[in-house]
Amino acid sequence: MNRILIKNAKIVNEGTIFEGDLLIEDSFIKEIAESISAKPDVKVIDAEGNFLIPGAIDDQVHFREPGLTHKGNIESESRAAVAGGITSFIEQPNTVPNAVTQELLEDKYRIAAETSYANYGFMMGGTNDNLEEILKTNPKNVPGIKLFLGSSTGNMLVDDEAVLEKIFSSTKMLIAAHCEDEATIRENLAKYKEEYGDDIPVKFHPLIRSAGACYISSSRAIELAKKTGARLHVFHVSTAKETELFTNKIPLEEKKITAEVCIHHLWFSDADYDTKGALIKWNPAVKTAEDRQALWDALLDDRIDVVATDHAPHTLEEKKNPYTSSPSGGPLVQHAVVAMFEAYHQKKISVEKIVEKMAHNPAKLFRIEKRGFIKEGYYADLVIVNPGLPWNVKKENILYKCGWSPFEGVNFKSRITHTFVNGNLVYTNFKVKDLRCGERLLFDR
């Protein structure tokens, strides 16, 4: 029997921090108390002065397997995720081939069962012509349906209005949407291509994939969700104007329309293109400092429900291509939790709120079974964070297969010291153990 006792931790759960002990037995949290006596067969970890938080649940990653494994794969990126305190992830369907049939979706689950360090769920992809396959999706063991309403990596743009309405009105599953208006983007791109050819300065990216393009698409998707009664989750909100589309007037459990913000939109602004260039080229684009502040405001007042990464690695060689062939996306799972703790040190957000947005709310929103909270009987997906252990991000400690990070050179004040997945200590002494112990996420639906 695997038994681990974590002592003297600042346990963070459901808006409170209390000092106490926690006993792990096999895969689960067995006991939480002010003080638990150590038995001879129990491994003891003293967490004094450190936070014990539920493992983060990242509701949007691109781990690139199958078909794009020169950029990353489930094994390499889940390894980086557990080092970063992310114990569960939901991966997107724009791999090669796209996960748009039940058979292709299950292929990804088979790979993860053998190779993933973290718990995993895979979104079913929607296209203009696969409604029959979408309707076969099992809500108990698949997190939701992903729709690209603006083109991104891959070829999954859903732009047929009749098909969209049919999908929205036919499925009771959560629909997660990438919202950017394709016609607006194409028009903007044509204007800049006329002036610069393919080598458009990357600083124009937020003007090409503009705030207007985001708002048009998000507002249309929300209108359609309201019309059809669909359950809609809007991925990576990036503009001030979009934040006005969401409400904080009702509890998350009652919301039918929810929103996510990503680390890069909370950290960077368009001023950073001068130094970071294509390394911070994402879709949707990083926009103005005013947009960034509005995203923080909406996150803190609960119009935005979840913080995620949209982790999407590309090689440095690919990123160095001219603008029109330089892919959008970047790796983030190893540094997301500590980036949010940096905001805690800057007094922008509390630790309790970080836990709410990165663990509790993803679990509630997707109705994930027995994860996302520190409760007796729940899976022991846990992370110890030392808030006073500074470190510097450099090539040697980056675990992404692509070998780079937009945070390279950043000094973080906090560091993750331990990560547990299903009760297994997978990360300690700043090393990931060779324990691929992730399990398939299940959903209470």
The catalytic residue positions are 310
Quote the CA–CA distance of 423 and 307 in Å, as a whole number: 24
- For Cα atoms 397, 348, 16, give the angle at the middle one, nearest 5 degrees: 90
Q: Take residue 173 and report the two structure tokens written for it.
A: 């599953």
Is the distance from CB of 274 to CB of 296 less than 8 angstroms?
Answer: no
Name the 3-class secondary structure at 327: coil
46: enclosing H helix or E strand: strand 43-46
Cα–Cα dist 147/137, whole Å: 14
| CA dihedral of residues 34, 40, 42, 43 (deg, nearest 10) | 100
Q: How far apart are CA 409 and CA 394, in angstroms?
A: 6
What angle (nearest 5°) sits at the alpha carbon of residue 120, between those of residues 119 and 126?
165
Q: For 301-328, b where at least 16 C-beta lie within 10 A, e where not — what string?
A: ebbbbbbbbbbbbbeeebbeeebeebbb
What is residue 49's three-state secondary structure?
coil
- Residue 427 · residue 399 · CB < 8 Å: no
The Cα 240–Cα 355 span in angstroms is 24
> Residues with Cβ < 8 Å from 441, sequence gap 6 or more?
88, 90, 119, 120, 121, 141, 143, 366, 368, 369, 371
Provide the residue count of the chain. 445
Which ranges in 152-285 belong to alpha helices (H)?
161-170, 182-196, 205-208, 211-228, 240-243, 263-267, 273-276
* Gap between the Cα atoms of 119 and 246, Å rounded: 29
Look-up of token digits 């991966």: 91
d(CA 297, CA 21): 34
How remote is the C-alpha of 314 from its chain's centroid? 17
Give the residue among 153, 277, 285 at the shortest CA–CA distance from 211.
Answer: 285
95: which DSSP letter?
S
